[in-house]
Amino acid sequence: MNIAVVILNWNGVKLLEQFLPSIIKNSSEATIYVADNASTDDSISFVQNHFPTVKIVKNTTNYGFAQGYNEALKHIDAEVYALVNSDIEVTENWLKPIIATFEKEPKTAIIQPKILDFKNKEYFEYAGAAGGFIDKYGYPYCRGRIFETIEKDNNQYNDSCEIFWASGACFFIRSSVYNELNGFDSDFFAHQEEIDLCWRAFNKGHKAVYISKSVVYHVGGATLQQGNPRKTFLNFRNSLLMLTKNLPKENLYSVLFSRMILDGIAGIQFIFKGKFSHFMAILKAHFSFYLLFSNTYKKRASTQLKKYYTIKSIVYTYYVKAGKIFVK
């Protein structure tokens, strides 16, 4: 199977220096690419001088995560794309179970490995953990991570199973499916574009799975820290865009209305915590969403599958019932 490991980079020479060697060492089955988003540091020359076997694709500007990959992948020919963050350390034989699954299961379009925390390797990592799901209102959560509660890896998710979404930190997808879906939605720029892509794949009848036999370690927040108001803006806005595109028609407006209320509550909480910049980020996210609503609605596919969630409200389960651990 022809597989391309593609690392999106923007001014990340230090991350490339630290993490690219593990990918080169453990990825003999793949061709490795660095897709550069018009870096102004010496990322390109560093890769050329120290890792000459790595191919480089140069984007003309910093397109962000979504469009950055869309542009780069136009120049890469492979059966499977492995989209890997620049702050990922991979392990020996990490590609073998992924390739075996793609070859054995033709209906599987998207795969995520087990993602553990590079800084605390006994624990799952926030971005993806052991595979993602969403609740009725579009809130994402993972096996191994619900909101800020992260589980220790006690082999409780040492399995292979179908999931709803795979983390963009380490995201495998058949190129035919990526092209069928026209890739990531560039309006997202970054954050939750992978959930949107998985949801669109789900609505087309494709399957996403988690494979625990493939293990990677993720630093997390290396490009945009969790406490950055820009991250708050993107997460709140993009979640609303994703819901507008993918919700079943009969749920669309009731769920969006509920989310407006819940987002308002989140904003008030930020005020009480003294995080006024995050409150403003939510306001800006909503105004941006209103401006994009008409164009986003036009992107809706002809069919949206009804059973997209496994739990009605992860917010209620987590904050009211104190359900901190994943239960399907």
pLDDT digits (tens, 9 = 90+) for 282-316: 999 999 999 999 999 999 998 898 899 989 999 98
pTM exceeding 0.85: yes
> Is position 323 within any domain?
no
171 shares its domain with 23 = yes
Residue 325 lies in a domain: no
Residue 56 lies in a domain: yes
> How many other CB atoms are found less than 10 A from the CB of residue 261?
9
Residues 275 and 190 both lie in one domain: no
36 and 132 share one domain: yes
Instruction: Say whether both 31 and 180 belong to one domain.
Output: yes
* Residues of the domain holding 130: 3-218
Domain count, the chain: 2
Long-range contacts of 318-324 (CB under 8 A, 24+ apart): 318/146, 318/147, 318/149, 323/146, 324/146, 324/149
The Cα–Cα gap between 107 and 47 comes to 36
61: its two tokens: 């500007």
**What average pLDDT does range 74-86 have in this prediction?**
97
Q: Which of 169, 142, 196, 80 is nearest to 318 (CA)?
A: 142
Nearest to 199 by CA among 102, 308, 69: 308
Residue 66 in this model has a pLDDT that exceeds 80? yes
Tell me whether residue 223 is in a domain: no
Structure confidence at residue 320 as a pLDDT band (50, 70, 90): confident
Is position 185 within any domain? yes
Closest by Cα among 165, 169, 166, 168 to 134: 165
Q: Are residues 196 and 98 in the same domain?
A: yes
Q: Are 201 and 282 found together in one domain?
A: no
Distance in angstroms (rounded) separating the CA atoms of residues 296 and 299? 5
Sequence-ordered list of residues with C-beta below 8 angstroms from that of 102, at least 6 positions apart, any chain: 1, 79, 80, 108, 111, 172, 174
What confidence tens digit (pLDDT) does each residue in 199-236 have?
A: 999 999 999 999 999 999 999 865 555 678 999 999 99
Report how far residue 185's alpha carbon sits from residue 169's, in angstroms, rounded to the nearest whole number: 17
Domain end among 164, 195, 218: 218
Rounded Cα distance, 82 and 69, in Å: 11
Q: Indicate whether 322 belongs to any domain.
A: no
Are 175 and 80 contained in the same domain? Answer: yes
CATH code, domain with 56: 3.90.550.10
